[in-house]
Amino acid sequence: MRVSECRLRRRVRFYEVDGAGIVHFSWFFRYMEEAEYELWRNAGLRSAALPGIGLPRVAASFDYRRPLRFEDEFEACIQITSIREKTIAYACTLTLAGETVAVGTMTIACVRTTAGEPMRAVPWPAEIVERFEVAPAQT
């Protein structure tokens, strides 16, 4: 089975908000990474345990539509939007009670991590690429 998307339900924690009870913008990137981690788990992979391979983020952005607040229960839906020789791109939509809160994107690269050498982009190993597919376009 190939995986193309993952949905994650999450509740805003106290330590994620400011004094006004609003989630700090930086947490949205963490929410996207939590959904990404679950996507990889659903594919039978552990992104943090790939010997000799690193997955740096080479691009990331968010467009914010409304705030999340302490104890809001929201959903993060991450989808694979492209798979290229050395990168995978995602789109992530955060929703609260069916309303879009924020929309983000992130691109990760596959790099070789060899001690004493600089990271270098390399093609995705076949055993990783065969577990994923691009999500169908939303209509």
The total number of structural domains in the chain stands at 1
Does residue 135 sit within a domain?
A: no
Q: Is the pTM of this model over 0.85?
A: yes
Does residue 58 sit within a domain?
A: yes
Active site residues: 18
Transcribe 1-54 into DSSP letters: --B-EEEEEEE--GGGB-TTSBB-THHHHHHHHHHHHHHHHHTT--TT--TTEE
Does residue 105 sit within a domain?
A: yes
- Could you tell me the CATH number of the domain that includes residue 35? 3.10.129.10
pLDDT of residue 24: 95
Transcribe 87-106 into DSSP letters: EEEEEEEEEETTEEEEEEEE
pLDDT digit string (tens) for the chain, length 139 residues: 799 999 999 999 999 999 999 999 999 999 999 999 999 999 999 876 778 899 999 999 999 999 999 999 999 999 999 999 999 999 999 999 999 999 999 999 999 998 899 999 999 999 899 999 999 986 5
Does residue 107 sit within a domain?
A: yes
Range of the domain at 80: 5-129
CA angle 29–35–40, rounded 5-degree value: 125
